[in-house]
Amino acid sequence: MKQYQLHKHEDKYIPQLVDAGTVELRPDEIRIAMDAWSLNYRDLLISAFNPTVSREGLIPLSDGSGLIEAVGSNVGHLSIGQRVCPIFFHDWRTGAFEEQDVQSALGGARPGVLAEEVVIHKDSVVVIPKQISALDAATLPCAALTAWQALFVRGHLDQHSTLLIQGTGGVALFALQFAKAVNAKVILISSSDDKLKQAQQLGADVLINYRTTPEWDKEVKKVTEGVGVSHILELGGPATFPRSLNCLAAGGNILQIGVLTGFGAETNLMRLQSINGTISGISVGSREQFEDMIVFIQQHKIRPIINTIFPFSQAAEAFNYLASAQHTGKVCLTKGSCKVVI
Ligand SMILES: NC(=O)c1ccc[n+]([C@@H]2O[C@H](COP(=O)([O-])OP(=O)(O)OC[C@H]3O[C@@H](n4cnc5c(N)ncnc54)[C@H](OP(=O)(O)O)[C@@H]3O)[C@@H](O)[C@H]2O)c1
């Protein structure tokens, strides 16, 4: 079987295809024959050179789906032929997040899924219903679940909410689709008028180009008649956080997720305090939350927005394409041949 491993090349790690032996199953493990994968901005962060952490030899990616091809002797509830997704945090299955769970992230602290076969604990996968394709399923473990936890588990978003979304990437477009499914109002900012048009087709109510309207926080206040928004999907980091706080409504909730403009965003605690605001730190989600999200996705017939599909053999090209930020929604890999979907 073949798998990708990261190898350092100049100032970053790039995925290289290598031959690897088939791993023997322990009693509690299953073997998945992978069909499809998706990339996240986080995979670019992990493949960037960092003098304090070596990624040499790491199997990249957290997100993929496949069919169970073998089960260990102690696996009762799963069977050969079922479609599954490994979960992002191998050890965050149910209940509250525990600090050590962060050390179980696939494609980071633990080996990832960009391989023809993945061997994993039986309790660290979610069963995917037959109606959801392998490709669609492969987009769900990180981006979709992050939007889900942010909006519904922590944000309690509903039809009375107004949500600000930053950009048109994977997390952003899942959040847009989820928010419109519960009839929340959505204001979306993007660098591109073409991308804004696509967001409008997906139901975004107010569109702002943050290149041509750099003081977008003022525009958000204007279009909300001075009130601001009840929820913000904060993806940008230092360049966006202060503006987010400016246009947060009284009692509102900043769902802190992203680092697109870097790390170390600073907040104005007095402003937060004076408007009775909340900042909720979001780290993907649990298996239990993933299972709830699948029920919602099926109920609302939500299909992930897949921008581009690369063949398994072109992982490096897929990484470069994601880094170019031309996409909207998700960039994927499959066992099949390459085709552009948009
Ligand atoms: N905390 C967590 O658990 C968690 C989970 C998943 C992702 N994340 C983080 O969330 C962020 C998004 O991840 P992703 O995988 O969805 O990324 P992605 O698909 O690569 O999306 C990137 C998009 O972000 C937008 N963007 C870039 N700079 C921006 C800015 N200054 N203001 C507004 N939008 C901007 C751009 O959209 P336009 O071209 O439309 O402007 C860009 O195409 C990343 O920082 C990632 O690390 C965190």
What pLDDT, in 10s, does the model give residues 107-166? 999 999 999 999 999 999 999 999 999 999 999 999 999 999 999 999 999 999 999 999
- What pLDDT is stored for residue 133 in this prediction? 96
Q: In this structure, are 94 and 49 located in the same domain?
A: yes
Count of CB atoms situated within 10 Å of the CB of 27: 10
Q: In this structure, are 240 and 174 located in the same domain?
A: yes
Determine, yes or no, domain membership for 183.
yes
Residue at a domain's end among 231, 248, 281 = 281
Q: What mean pLDDT is reported for the chain?
A: 96
Q: In this structure, are 53 and 120 located in the same domain?
A: yes
Res. 337 pLDDT band, cuts 50 70 90: low
- What pLDDT is stored for residue 336 in this prediction? 73
- What pLDDT is stored for residue 320 in this prediction? 97
Largest CA distance in the chain: 62
Q: Report the nearest atom of ligand 1 relative to the CA of 199.
A: 40
Q: In this structure, are 135 and 160 located in the same domain?
A: no
Q: In the predicted model, what is the mean pLDDT of residues 38-62?
A: 96
Q: Report the nearest atom of ligand 1 relative to the CA of 171.
A: 16
Q: In this structure, are 150 and 222 located in the same domain?
A: yes
Closest residue to atom 24 of ligand 1, CA basis? 167
Q: In this structure, are 210 and 317 located in the same domain?
A: no
Residue range(s) defining the domain that contains residue 187: 144-281
Determine, yes or no, domain membership for 209.
yes
Q: In this structure, are 131 and 165 located in the same domain?
A: no
Residue 332, CA distances (Å) to 190, 227, 228 in order = 22, 39, 35
Alpha-carbon torsion angle 16, 22, 24, 27, nearest 10: 80
Q: Report the nearest atom of ligand 1 relative to the CA of 283.
A: 3
105: which DSSP letter?
B
Q: In this structure, are 135 and 148 located in the same domain?
A: no
Determine, yes or no, domain membership for 286.
no
- What pLDDT is stored for residue 341 in this prediction? 47
The answer, yes or no, to whether residue 340 has pLDDT greater than 90, is no
Q: How far is the CA of 21 from the centre of ligand 1 (A)?
A: 36
- What pLDDT is stored for residue 23 in this prediction? 87
Pocket of ligand 1 (CB under 6 A): 40-42, 142-143, 146, 166-172, 189-192, 195, 210, 235-236, 239-240, 257-261, 282-284, 322, 325
Q: In this structure, are 119 and 204 located in the same domain?
A: no
Determine, yes or no, domain membership for 292.
no
Q: How many residues does the chain have?
A: 342
Q: How far is the CA of 237 from the centre of ligand 1 (A)?
A: 10
Task: Please work out, in degrees rounded to the nearest 5, the angle formed at the alpha carbon of residue 9 by the alpha carbons of 8 and 15.
Answer: 65
Q: Give yes or no for a contact between 197 and 175, defined as CB atoms under 8 angstroms apart.
A: no
Closest residue to atom 39 of ligand 1, CA basis? 191
- What pLDDT is stored for residue 342 in this prediction? 43
The answer, yes or no, to whether residue 260 has pLDDT greater than 80, is yes
Which CATH number is 257's domain given? Answer: 3.40.50.720
Q: In this structure, are 106 and 172 located in the same domain?
A: no
Determine, yes or no, domain membership for 293.
no
Determine, yes or no, domain membership for 296.
no
The more confidently predicted of residues 335 and 87 is 87
128: which DSSP letter?
P
Determine, yes or no, domain membership for 289.
no
The fraction of the chain above a pLDDT of 70, given in percent, is 98
Q: In this structure, are 148 and 272 located in the same domain?
A: yes
Give residue-wise pLDDT tens across range 163-202: 999 999 999 999 999 999 999 999 999 999 999 999 999 9
Residue 92, CA distances (Å) to 89, 107, 279 in order = 5, 15, 22
Q: Report the nearest atom of ligand 1 relative to the CA of 149.
A: 3
Tokens 């929820």 correspond to: 231
Closest residue to atom 30 of ligand 1, CA basis? 236
Determine, yes or no, domain membership for 288.
no
Number of domains the chain contains: 2
Which CATH number is 331's domain given? Answer: 3.90.180.10
Q: In this structure, are 8 and 108 located in the same domain?
A: yes
Beta bridge partners of 233: 165, 255
Full strand arrangement of the beta sheet holding 185-190: 206-209, 185-190, 162-166, 229-234, 248-256, 278-281
Rounded to an integer, what distance in angstroms lies between the CA atom of residue 256 and that of residue 236?
9
Count of CB atoms situated within 10 Å of the CB of 266: 9
- What pLDDT is stored for residue 324 in this prediction? 98
Q: How far is the CA of 166 from the centre of ligand 1 (A)?
A: 7
Count of CB atoms situated within 10 Å of the CB of 219: 18
